[in-house]
Amino acid sequence: MKVLSAMPQTQLIDQFGRKITYVRMSVTDRCDFRCVYCMDEKMTFLPRDQVMSLEEIHLIARAFVELGVNKIRLTGGEPLVRRDVLSLFDGIGKLAGLKDFCLTTNGSQLKKYAQQLKASGVNRINISLDSLNPLLFKALTRIGNIEQVIEGIDAAVDAGIERIKLNAVILKGRNDHEVLDLVDFVRDREIDISFIEEMPLGVISSHNRAETYYSSDDVFSAIEQRYPLSRSSLNTGGPSQYWNMADSKSKIGFISPHSHNFCGDCNRVRVTVEGELLLCLGNEHAVDLKQIIRDNQGDIEVLKRHLVMAMGNKPKEHHFTVDGDVQVVRFMSMTGG
């Protein structure tokens, strides 16, 4: 007779009983933009040998899916600037058991790739857009061209991607006056938007985060005055809380790490481009998956055992504060936003 505890575990459950079904993976730390809240103007990127190969990233994705993960998001850096990345999209899109295959992108390459991404099985795309004003967009991204991004968004809509959502980081005194314009932009296209509070990830020199902090509650009030909001039943098991407008299909989300702690229902972990498994965005706990793969000749069963064990160390919650202190030295582009 088989002893139950000796059977391989097929699900990832942490010490607080949370089932891990969602993995975000960074496929590159590089980017064609330099958004002021995300990167410094001059960045040093990782040497190639510290970056996982596309095959290693695929192996980790496969291991997670075999352990019950049904949602994977590829992010970065800018995922679509990595060479040959579409082969990774094709490979992950074929994993049996994956229900949601998502991408977070700045939109710069979407016009070129939207159709192929749809064909790979990508069903959700988040596109970052903080301003519709060409000059302010350029100032916030330091490099970006707003027209190219809008063409990318429209290409994703035309390709028939099921769910498209904009991500807008709102900074006091920079783009807080554009909240309603951004809402009208998504209403016109019947796509969604999430407003994000800036998080203290990475040391930046462009501004003092404490001074630019703009609360989701203030964004909410501005929208509510024009479009009354009602709570949506949509729950992604993550930090976003969604709201509906009576006269539009577009949903409005708020990601508020400061003003609302979102850790209780956390169903996710992250993998950095160096292959570190991060059990919580706001904490430093990590497991070196790249080393495990390289030490064991890519044995997926060994990798899966390490993933199961690692869940025991997932912390209860993050510890961000509004005073702008940096608790986490990694940039968002390293951890995969």
Verify binding: residue 12, ligand SAM, rule CB under 6 A.
Answer: no
Q: Which amino acid is at 111?
A: K
Verify binding: residue 196, ligand SAM, rule CB under 6 A.
Answer: yes
Q: Which of residues 58-117 bind ligand SAM (CB under 6 A)?
A: 75-76, 78, 104-106
Q: Which of ligand SF4, ligand SAM, none sits in contact with 199, Cβ below 5 to 8 A by type?
A: ligand SAM
Verify binding: residue 140, ligand SF4, rule CB under 6 A.
Answer: no
Q: Which of ligand SF4, ligand SAM, none sits in contact with 39, Cβ below 5 to 8 A by type?
A: ligand SF4
Place of tokens 């995969």: 336
Count residues binding ligand SAM (CB under 6 A): 19
Q: Cα 275 to chain center, whole Å?
A: 16
Closest distance of CB 264 from ligand SAM, Å: 20
Residue number, 241 or 333, with CB nearest to ligand SAM: 333
Q: Which of ligand SF4, ligand SAM, none sits in contact with 196, Cβ below 5 to 8 A by type?
A: ligand SAM
Stretch that binds ligand SF4, among 58-66, 70-78, 92-100, 262-270 (CB under 6 A): 70-78
Verify binding: residue 159, ligand SAM, rule CB under 6 A.
Answer: no
Verify binding: residue 165, ligand SF4, rule CB under 6 A.
Answer: no
Q: Which residues are near ligand SF4 by CB under 6 A?
A: 31, 33-35, 38-39, 76-78, 106, 128, 333
Q: Which residues are near ligand SAM by CB under 6 A?
A: 31, 37-38, 75-76, 78, 104-106, 128, 167, 169, 196, 198-199, 201, 332-333, 337
